[in-house]
Amino acid sequence: MRSKTPLPLAPRPTHAERIRSVLASAHSMTVVTDRERTEVTRLTARALAGHVHLHPLETALGPEDTPISLEFTDVAPTPVRDRVRARVTVTGWTTAPYRADAPAGQCVQFAHATLETAEGTASVGLAELATAEADPLATAEAGMLTHLVDDHAELVPLLLRLVRPAPVPGARRVLPVAVDRYGITLRVEYGNGHTDARLPFPSRLESAGQAGNQIQALLHSARRASHRGRLSAGW
What are the pLDDT digits (tens) for 38-66? Answer: 888 766 655 555 555 555 555 554 556 77
CB of 89 within 8 A of CB of 122?
no
In which band, very low, low, confident or very high, does the pLDDT at 157 lie, cut at 50, 70 and 90?
Answer: very high
Q: Looking at residue 92, what is its pLDDT?
A: 84
Neighbouring residues of 139: CB distance < 8 A, sequence distance ≥ 6:
24, 25, 45
CB of 179 within 8 A of CB of 137?
yes
Q: Looking at residue 155, what is its pLDDT?
A: 93
pLDDT beyond 80 at 79: yes
Q: Looking at residue 222, what is its pLDDT?
A: 92
pLDDT beyond 50 at 97: yes
Of residues 138 and 4, the one with the higher pLDDT is 138
pLDDT (mean) for 7-28: 85
| Cis peptide, bond prior to residue 167, ω within 30 of zero | no
Q: Looking at residue 49, what is its pLDDT?
A: 53
In which band, very low, low, confident or very high, does the pLDDT at 6 lie, cut at 50, 70 and 90?
Answer: very low
The structure's pTM equals 0.83
**100-125 pLDDT, tens per residue?**
665 555 666 778 899 999 999 999 98
CB of 164 within 8 A of CB of 173?
no
pLDDT (mean) for 121-146: 92
- The CA distance from 108 to 91, in Å, is 9
